[in-house]
Structure 1
Amino acid sequence: MRVIAITGGIASGKSFVTNQIRNAGYKVIDADLVSRQVVEPGTHTLEEIKSAFGDQIISNGVLDRKALGEKVFSNPALLKELTNITAPEIRSSIQDSLSFFKMKGEEVVFCAIPLYFEQGYDQSGWFDQVVVVVSDERVQLDRLMARDGLEEWAAQTRIKSQMPNAEKKQKADVVIENNGTEEELQKQVSAYLQTLKEN
């Protein structure tokens, strides 16, 4: 089974690329979705987060991701503490899903992992190829501000908490540039999937 990682900076268009790949019939494990599942009400991960960061990040029994984000993205020590709680759970869940798909006889499985390099997945030995989706910083900043309703400084803080795009591009096997229209992005993904079928 070939396992391919999709990663890239925040608001670079990873979700759009991932959806197109899913619509083309490929199985996709989405780390963002997994990260929500591991903190659902009743999970021990949510209890650990509550103990570490206080009751104010819980709203009606559910994790208030915006409140938590405001707390951790401006404080590297707190972000590291949160990562130490959630990352092992996310990793374990991804590994379980990969084992399941392998057992089912899937030939190609994609994993969308936003923090692929930052959290050491590139050292895991699980992946055969890495696809990086990138945008110019200004484009990324504007998209993030519009998408999440953030002030520019808050959007910049989130972007700067990740590995720079230039570094990700160097480590990538395939780079998809997303500075234009959705149609242009779609064409690049289609061309990539065609190459994948041929090799």
Structure 2
Amino acid sequence: MKVIAITGGIASGKSAVTDQIRQAGYRVVDADLLARQVVEPGTHTLEEIKEAFGQEIVQNGVLDRKALGEKVFANPALLKELTKITSPEIQSAIRDQLAFFKMKEEPIVFCAIPLFFEQHYEKTGWFDQVLVVSASEREQLERLMARDHLDEWAAQSRIKSQMPVQEKIAKADVVIENNGTAEELAQKVQDYLKHLEVA
């Protein structure tokens, strides 16, 4: 089974690329989805977060992701603390899903992991290829402000909390650049998948 990681900067278009790959019929393990599942009501991860960050970030038993985001993205030490709690749980869930697809003898499986390099997934030895979706910082900033209704300062702090996109590009096996239209991006993904089938 060939395992391909999809990563890139925040608001670079990773989700759009992942959606297209899923629509093309490929299996996708989605770290963002798993990140939500590991903090669902009743999980020990949620309890740990509540202890570390205070009762007020849980509303009616549910994690208030916006309140937590406002706390951690402005404070690198708190972001590190949160990562220490959630990262092992997410990694374990990814490993389980990959084992399941291997058992099913899927030929190619994609893993969408936004913080692939930040959390050192490249050292796990699970991946045959790393695909980075890139966008200019200006594009990232504008998309992030529009998507998450953030002011420029808040958007900048989220971008700065991640590894610079140029560093990710340097570590990538494949780069899909997304500074243009949705149609242009769709064409690039199609071309990539066609090449993948041939290879």
Q: Unpaired segments of 5 or more residues in structure 2?
A: none
Structure 2 counterpart of 1:106: 106
* 2:3 is the counterpart of 1:3: yes
Counterpart of 2:137, as a letter, is E
Q: Give the CA deviation at 1:59.
A: 1.2
Query: What count of residue pairs does the alignment treat as equivalent?
Result: 199
Aligned ranges for residues 32-47 of structure 1 at < 5 Å?
32-47=32-47
SS at match of 1:111: strand
Structure 2 counterpart of 1:56: 56
Q: Give the CA deviation at 1:60.
A: 1.5
* 2:167 is the counterpart of 1:167: yes
Identity of aligned residues (%): 73
Q: Over aligned residues, Cα RMSD in angstroms?
A: 0.4
Give the whole-Å Cα distance in 2 for the aligned partners of 1:100 and 1:175. 28
Give the whole-Å Cα distance in 2 for the aligned partners of 1:165 and 1:50. 32
Structure 2 counterpart of 1:76: 76
Query: What's the TM-score once normalised by structure 1's chain length?
Result: 1.00
Give the whole-Å Cα distance in 2 for the aligned partners of 1:146 and 1:188. 24
Give the whole-Å Cα distance in 2 for the aligned partners of 1:37 and 1:18. 19
Q: Unpaired segments of 5 or more residues in structure 1?
A: none
Structure 2 counterpart of 1:133: 133
Q: Give the CA deviation at 1:26.
A: 0.2
Give the whole-Å Cα distance in 2 for the aligned partners of 1:139 and 1:24. 26
Give the whole-Å Cα distance in 1 for the aligned partners of 2:181 and 2:64. 32
Structure 2 counterpart of 1:92: 92
Give the whole-Å Cα distance in 1 for the aligned partners of 2:139 and 2:131. 19
Counterpart of 1:35, as a letter, is A
Q: Give the CA deviation at 1:189.
A: 0.2
Structure 1 counterpart of 2:143: 143
TM superposition outliers: structure 1 runs of 4+ over 6 Å: none
